[in-house]
Amino acid sequence: MAATLIAPLWHNQAQAQSNDPTAAPAVLVKRLLQFPRDLGSHPDTATEWWYVTGELQAQGRLFGFQLTFFRSRVPSTQAMRSGFAAKQLHFAHAAVTDVTGQRLLHDQRIARSSGNAQVDLAQASDTDTDVSLRDWSLQRRSSSYLARANGAGFAFELNLQETQPLLLQGDAGLSRKGPEASQASFYYSLPQLRVSGQLTLDGQRQAVTGRAWLDHEWSQSIMAPQAVGWDWIGMNLNDGSALTAFRLRNKTGGTVWAGGSWRAKDALVPVVFGHDQVSFEPIRRWTSPASATSYPVEWRVTVPDASSTPRRYTVRALVDNQELDSSRSTGAIYWEGLSDLLDEQGKPLGRGYLEMTGYAKPLSL
């Protein structure tokens, strides 16, 4: 759930979508997802994102990384014939967490596309995963993905090898995000990706290995009017299983909607959580010195197991300061960072990413 970064833009375009005759229907209808076609872009929908996060090891040091590409449809320009009309806006965010150094490095990109490859600085193929913004890119190559980015003080080139099949979230890929049918997205994940490649930090290039998680979502609308933000986790467990959990919050911190899934290592179909089966309870908070925003950096997350018995986990940030300020591209401030997953006794079970939005200011999607 990385749509947080295009929240201000999406909100401004919401009314215009209804006057866009070539746009997808306002309410997404369940359908059989087709691959590799649905690995690619869906430019008739309001927004879309490809989101990769993971952990990296190099010479005894631990790092986290994030690379996210966003596409946002501009309804008012769709009928224009000009080869320079901004029919889609593209954003990209990249970050590296240096756990040993307790620091976060991040950067951002923004560009528009008209469908004219000769002038566009960004593109997203509609036949397979192949997205780029200037010199940043994410491309699928058979059963692996190549992720490239370079920013202020960091760069990476990573090969992400599939080890498990696609995980269709929600109802066979249609994931509800609120009480109304229109509040939904098409959503699939690729957990337990095996990572190898190169990480450059402060000019020092080093070989890295690790594991990662890929999300791809596209939607017309996902947030109920009373929701101000969300909390989300995507966790690769050490036993090969995968855990997703999220909740959308109202202004008092209550849950508007929740969901997620758990899939065993060798399973094809996940256990899908009901909206009333997931809870997030904050344990410890951290206040950003940059934005003065307070974020819960340790959570107790409760989800059901295969027999609907509640299972409780602790999610703990490995670095408190993993706040990203995307003011130069999308205007959103959010928290996204590498975190541990622990059982009730404090035993490490896995690792992944925690995302928190709407704490600096409410989102409107």
Mean pLDDT, to the nearest integer, of 302-317? 95
Question: Average model confidence (pLDDT) for the chain?
Answer: 91
pLDDT for residue 60 is more than 50: yes
Which of the two residues, 254 and 81, has the higher pLDDT score? 254
The domain containing residue 53 runs over which residues?
A: 3-27+34-356
Q: Are 332 and 316 in contact (CB under 8 A)?
A: no
Write down the pLDDT at residue 8. Answer: 44
pLDDT band at residue 12 under the 50/70/90 scheme: very low
pLDDT band at residue 307 under the 50/70/90 scheme: confident
Write down the pLDDT at residue 364. Answer: 63
pLDDT band at residue 355 under the 50/70/90 scheme: very high
Q: Minimal CA–CA distance to 288: which of 153, 107, 55, 104?
A: 104
Count CB neighbours of 305 within 10 A: 10
DSSP 8-class letter at 273: P
**Whole-number Å distance between alpha carbons of 310 and 111:** 45
- 68 is a domain residue: yes
- 270 is a domain residue: yes
pLDDT band at residue 229 under the 50/70/90 scheme: very high
- 226 is a domain residue: yes
- 194 is a domain residue: yes
Write down the pLDDT at residue 11. Answer: 44
Listed in sequence order, the residues at least 6 apart from 227 whose beta carbon sits closer than 8 Å to its beta carbon are: 178, 248, 249, 250, 256, 257, 358, 363
Mean pLDDT, to the nearest integer, of 268-278? 97
pLDDT band at residue 10 under the 50/70/90 scheme: very low
Count CB neighbours of 320 within 10 A: 18
Residue count of the chain: 365
Write down the pLDDT at residue 51. Answer: 97
**Whole-number Å distance between alpha carbons of 185 and 174:** 6
Per-residue model confidence as pLDDT tens digits over 243-252: 999 999 999 9
- 364 is a domain residue: no
pTM of the model: 0.93
Write down the pLDDT at residue 13. Answer: 46
| Number of structural domains the chain divides into | 1
pLDDT band at residue 78 under the 50/70/90 scheme: low
% of the chain beyond a pLDDT of 90: 80
Write down the pLDDT at residue 76. Answer: 63
* Residues forming beta bridges with residue 89, ordered by sequence position: 72, 112
Write down the pLDDT at residue 236. Answer: 99
Write the secondary structure of 274-319 as one string of H (helix), E (strand) and C (coil): CCCCCEEEEEEEEECCCCCCEEEEEEEEEEECCCCCEEEEEEEECC
Write down the pLDDT at residue 356. Answer: 97
Which pair of tokens denotes residue 16?
């215009």
Q: Quick check: bond before 8 cis, omega within 30?
A: no
CATH of the domain at 17: 2.40.370.10
pLDDT band at residue 240 under the 50/70/90 scheme: very high
Mean pLDDT, to the nearest integer, of 32-53? 97
- 346 is a domain residue: yes
Write down the pLDDT at residue 348. Answer: 98
10-24, 82-96, 187-201, 291-305: the lowest-pLDDT one: 10-24
**Whole-number Å distance between alpha carbons of 246 and 149:** 27
Which pair of tokens denotes residue 32?
């059989």
pLDDT for residue 365 is more than 60: no
Write down the pLDDT at residue 85. Answer: 64
Which ranges of 79-135 would DSSP assign to H, the alpha helix? none
pLDDT for residue 120 is more than 90: no
- 248 is a domain residue: yes
Write down the pLDDT at residue 15. Answer: 43
- 150 is a domain residue: yes
pLDDT band at residue 142 under the 50/70/90 scheme: very high
**Whole-number Å distance between alpha carbons of 150 and 24:** 34
Q: Are 159 and 152 in contact (CB under 8 A)?
A: no
153-157, 278-282, 331-335, 352-356: the lowest-pLDDT one: 331-335
Amino acid identity at 277:
Q
Count CB neighbours of 226 within 10 A: 15
pLDDT for residue 329 is more than 60: no
